[in-house]
Structure 1
Amino acid sequence: MTKVLVFSPHPDDDVIGCGGSIAKHVAKGNKVGVVYMTSGDIGSLAHSPAEIASIREREARQAAGCLGVSEVHFFKNHDGYLDCTWKNLVRVTSLLREFRPHIVYIPHEDDRHRDHRKTHELVVEACGWSGSPRAPVCGQNLWRVGTILCYEVGTPVRDCSYVEDITDYIDAKSRALAFHSSQLSNLDYNEAVRSLNRFRGITTGGGTYCECFQVVRATNLFSARDSFRRGD
């Protein structure tokens, strides 16, 4: 069984960026966890930060459940102010050593949203720590993440180095995204996401609907022991 850990700056970024891949992993029997770096507490003008954070955490749990995600974690950083602090590095590294993922998904480094870029920076740094003995405070069970894939949310990936065919899972992705009703009421981006995946399918030739990624590390992406491969 391949273990997968998705790092999402806000509730819904995971579904937008790699919801089809998540559903595909689950269908293949892989274990998937999602980490929400913030709870999106500035994501509404109609609710207080505490209220919208609670709403968005509930929506995230429902969407994750729809996709078959095994576990979710809420790190509750302040929306818009995520940073690569010692505390966050320790928390992410400790979770990596505990969960021991073979594949990690993060936003790509050129995303225009600051929280997305900081999630990328933070997790890449933590993946380095996870396999090194220099951070004993994070636990003794060192773990080297084999594959790191960077997904696109609001800012498209410029140089796509990995394409995943999600044609059989696009409807599951749309159903999961529909649970984020607090955000869809402000901007109905479900169709935009579906259209992006269709565009990626047409332009890459990888399938009818595709998700595109930048590869930071790909030690075991194509190895025989992985059940999740390009085009499978």
Structure 2
Amino acid sequence: MSKKILVIAAHPDDEILGVGATIAKHVQYGDSCTALILGEGMTSRYDKRDLADTSKLEELHKDTFQAGKIIGYEKVYLENLPDNRFDSVDLLDIIKIVEKYIDKIKPDIIYTHHGGDLNVDHRKTYEAVLTATRPIESDCVKEIYCFETVSSTEWNFEYSNLFVPNYFVDITETLESKLKAMKYYKSELRNFPHPRSIDNLIASAKKWGSVVGKKYVEAFEVIRIIK
């Protein structure tokens, strides 16, 4: 039986970096996959948010939709919260956005950020998702997984909250789709040895693959599974 999958990410490209190849695999299985991207992206690179180049922001969002098509997302929603400023937004407001989409999509499975990431938007996204999916009787979400976001997860050295995956997805057949999708994010990709480079995405998949005896893997932390 096909399942409904919802990826809840903070920024454009996180929905590819953290879980792109796994979503491509869900699509192969016939699952319905949707991405909710809470933040607008990019505007934190300017001294003030209102100084951001709107044409570049529009181009980023076009890249988002193109990348989503490569992976097989049926729909990508953008909510345009202020980039790297989620801590300036009441957490309750973020929770209500997440609740709105959970009610709309009724996902069986949610993928979202690791709660110990260096990036404040990732942490606030994680908090909002966990609050919005409190396991009350009417909750539709049966599985929640946290993904690694290169250039954020590994840069936090708070040892009490490191990313320690315990669920691994073999992406040997779908890694190429993830890499192809990321190439659409021209403003977000960097050259190796930056973590957000094609070479490093391959290296990361190899690293997690070596942990479980596979060629290429995406790794996750299990937050909840209800059977």
Q: Same fold (TM over 0.5)?
A: yes
Q: Report the AA paired with residue 9 of structure 1.
A: A
> Aligned match of 2:97 in 77, 81, 91?
91
Contact 2:91 2:124 in 1 (8 A): no
Contact 1:41 1:50 in 2 (8 A): no
Contact 1:42 1:52 in 2 (8 A): no
In structure 1, list runs of 5 or more residues that go unmatched. Answer: 133-141, 221-232
Pair 1:160–1:185, CA change in 2 (3 A): closer
Partner of 1:204: 212
Contact 1:93 1:126 in 2 (8 A): yes
1:181 aligns with 2:186: yes
Contact 1:43 1:52 in 2 (8 A): no
Partner of 2:32: 31
1:1-232 paired onto structure 2 within 5 Å: 1-42=2-43, 48-83=52-87, 85-128=91-134, 131=136, 142-154=138-150, 155-156=153-154, 158-184=163-189, 189-205=197-213, 207-220=214-227
CA deviations 1:33-65 (Å, max 9, x no partner) are 0011112132656x9343332121111100001
Offset of residue 120 of structure 1: 0.6
In structure 2, list runs of 5 or more residues that go unmatched. Answer: 155-161
State the alpha-carbon separation in 2 of the partners of residues 78 and 48 from structure 1.
11
Contact 2:148 2:163 in 1 (8 A): no
State the alpha-carbon separation in 1 of the partners of residues 33 and 44 from structure 2.
26
TM-score, normalised relative to structure 1:
0.83
Offset of residue 158 of structure 1: 3.0
Contact 2:86 2:124 in 1 (8 A): yes
State the alpha-carbon separation in 2 of the partners of residues 118 and 44 from structure 1.
19
State the alpha-carbon separation in 1 of the partners of residues 54 and 42 from structure 2.
6
State the alpha-carbon separation in 1 of the partners of residues 211 and 67 from structure 2.
28
Question: What is the RMSD computed on CA atoms of the aligned residues?
Answer: 2.0
State the alpha-carbon separation in 2 of the partners of residues 101 and 180 from structure 1.
27
CA deviations 1:81-113 (Å, max 9, x no partner) are 114532222221121011010100001111111
Contact 1:150 1:216 in 2 (8 A): yes
TM-score, normalised relative to structure 2:
0.85
Offset of residue 185 of structure 1: 5.4
After TM superposition, the runs of 4+ consecutive aligned structure 1 residues lying more than 6 A away are none
SS at 2:221 equivalent: strand
Offset of residue 71 of structure 1: 0.6
Identity %: 27
